[in-house]
Amino acid sequence: MSAAAIVAFCVSCAPGQRGRQAVQESVPTQAAQAHQQNEDVRLSDAQMNMIADSDEEEQIYLLDFYADWCGPCRQLKPYMEKWEDRYDGVIDFEEINVDEHPDIAAGFGVESIPTVIIVDRSGRVLGHVVGFQPDSIESALNSVAAKLPK
């Protein structure tokens, strides 16, 4: 597994221009690279343990990596609230503040925020969107929801 230094920064701001940066050293980025190449990506058991609660009914998880200082993250929030209401009981929405949880962000290979990762209960990555792209996120959610048993 490859390792690299990761800096999470707002995709609308140049690194260091404004806001805080979460830095984590020696972080595996293989899963993020594989997903970008459209390969079948699965999260490790450790990654799934960070997000999955065995008592929950939902089979799908949406991980919203954000920071309070990130303008595009704040712009995405009303969309997330709308989608969370729409998919209540079907998709579990998890907000992960990269400043408060840099270990989790680094473990998922998050390099820029906002980043949205959609995974199923087995850990298979179903969607990965970086930046303020509400249309892409909604399309991924609709695609995932359409494949779920009714």
Q: Which residues are catalytic?
A: 70, 73
Strand 91-97's sheet: what is its strand order?
A: 91-97, 60-66, 115-120, 125-130
